[in-house]
DNA sequence: AAAATATATATAGTTTAATATATCAAATGA
DNA sequence: TCATTTGATATATTAAACTATATATATTTT
């Protein structure tokens, strides 16, 4: 129903998994009950802003508001980090040679 | 206490004002009570995620989660739009000639 | 197969967001 | 000055988030 919301929740789960964290691990780190994390990820509850921020921070994510106009540019930054050959976790190369969204830090600064 | 939260609320108010909208106008457009908007902007309440998104969308903002690492790059995009000479609303020129954060659209695509 | 781990789900109790509505004070404008 | 607009604040009610805890159901590992 709400694209922005679904997208946000999906990001949370994606990044958690990318960090190879279980809901329990995230629970331990964030202080939120595992059951609550499950409910949030599945859209069963509508978390409070502070809860979302807490969860995000634990996953080293920051929440920001972006003018809709700037969204494409911002997405471009968030999605990839530049053109690299070997890319994904398992050594696969994505079609366009770009990193997947929310890839783990391989420290490429 | 929570930088991310304060920042978010500040952005909401800033953009609302930049659009020359009163809380009542925003209320009418978003469907949320003016009293609630006031409480949210002042951090009196901890809004639900859906509420924040609703408010943001009304102001043509999208909420996204950004890897902390990418934050500087993203902020750079959100803050300015390039180097222009005359800049601010009233024709002032900022010191570095960049647009202020969350400037109104002058359509510079 | 059994054990361990991970996720989804349930219940009961507490806290708080959200609503409608109204009012007050301060700023703005006629 | 008087009227309007704006934002903050208050109250009462309803809905829902959040907590702790427990359990059931996968999924993975040994």
Q: Looking at the domain assignment, is residue B38 inside a domain? A: yes
**Confidence (pLDDT) at B61:** 97
Taking only the tens place, the pLDDT of each residue in B3-20 is 789 999 999 999 999 999
Domain region containing B75: 67-104
Q: Name the nucleotide with the smallest C1'–CA separation from A48.
A: D17
**A49 contacts B5? CB cut-off 8 A:** yes
**A61 contacts B12? CB cut-off 8 A:** no
Q: Which residue is nearest to nucleotide C10 (CA to C1')?
A: A35
Within 7 Å of a protein beta carbon, the nucleotides of strand C are: 5-11, 16-22
- Give the CA distances from residue B106 to residues A84, A103, B86, in Å, rounded to whole numbers and listed in that order: 36, 34, 12
Same domain, yes or no: B97 and B78: yes
Q: Looking at the domain assignment, is residue A79 inside a domain? A: yes
Same domain, yes or no: B54 and B8: yes
**Confidence (pLDDT) at B79:** 84
Same domain, yes or no: B28 and B54: yes
Cβ of residue A5 near strand D, that is under 7 Å?
A: no
CATH number of domain containing A28: 1.10.260.40
Answer for the pair B46, B4: CB distance below 8 angstroms, yes or no.
no
- Total domains in chain A come to 2
**Confidence (pLDDT) at A103:** 66
Q: Residue B99: pLDDT band by 50, 70, 90 thresholds?
A: low
Q: Looking at the domain assignment, is residue B109 inside a domain? A: no
Taking only the tens place, the pLDDT of each residue in B20-76 is 999 999 999 999 999 999 999 999 999 999 999 999 999 999 999 999 999 999 999
Same domain, yes or no: A13 and A54: yes
Confirm or reject contact between B67 and chain A (CB < 8 A): yes
DSSP letters, chain A, are --HHHHHHHHHHHHHHHHTT--HHHHHHHH---HHHHHHHHTTSS--BHHHHHHHHHHTTEEEEEEEGGGHHHHHHHHH--SB-SS-STTS---TTSBPPTTPPP----
User: Which residues does chain A have with pLDDT short of 50?
Assistant: 81-97, 107-109
Sole residue written with tokens 């991310």: B4
């Amino acid at each position: 129903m709400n694209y922005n919301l679904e997208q946000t929740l999906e990001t949370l789960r994606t990044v958690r998994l990318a960090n190879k964290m279980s809901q329990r691990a995230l629970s331990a780190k964030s202080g939120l009950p595992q059951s609550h994390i499950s409910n949030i990820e599945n859209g069963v509850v509508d978390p409070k802003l502070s809860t979302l921020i807490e969860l995000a921070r634990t996953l080293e994510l920051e929440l920001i508001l972006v003018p809709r106009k700037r969204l494409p540019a911002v997405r471009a930054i968030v999605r990839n980090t530049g053109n690299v050959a070997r890319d994904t976790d398992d050594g696969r190369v994505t079609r366009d040679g770009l990193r997947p969204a929310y890839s783990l830090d391989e420290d490429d600064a």
